[in-house]
Amino acid sequence: MLQLLPSRNGVNSMQVFQSRFGQIEVDPDTIIHFPLGIPGFEDCKNYKLLHEESQDPQVLWLQSLDDSAAMFTLIEAERLGLNYMLTLSDEECDLIELKNAEDAKLFLILSRPDGSQISANTRAPLVINLQSRKGLQKLDVKADIVFRNT
């Protein structure tokens, strides 16, 4: 459930009510927009990236602002020592307004099916343009995954 409320400085801010995190105040300038949604969640286009209170958070949560039940656990691909050689089409770059590769950050969705070990979806990373705060999920990535020593 979303509600637009006036903030302390007079600028409107959104608040999302989510059971896991309670009430969260969201600055509109921090919303990440997925123009096409995320496959399976096409109606969820606006998200807030949340993290544990830490100088260097390991795990992040991508909380939908359109459906409070939709939340994804993420990790930066770099944290796992993964380097992708990923090619985005001109249409994909235009969709997320990506002009410089350095502005893109890759995230992997984590899951724990049936309470088993945690796994990362390495074949469908999320690509987020940190400048425009727009993202997409790149499906069926067939790029080589190169492990590096950290």
> What one-character-per-residue DSSP string does 13-77 give?
EEEEEETTTEEEEE-GGG-EE-TT-BTTBTT--EEEEEE-SSSS-S-EEEEESS-TT-EEEEEEG
Compare 45 and 23 and report the one with higher pLDDT: 45
Copy the structure tokens of residue 92: 């994909």
pLDDT in tens, 92-125: 999 999 999 999 999 999 998 877 888 889 899 9
Residue 142 has pLDDT above 70, yes or no: no
Residue 32's pLDDT is 96
Residue 138's pLDDT is 95
Q: What's 95's DSSP letter?
A: H
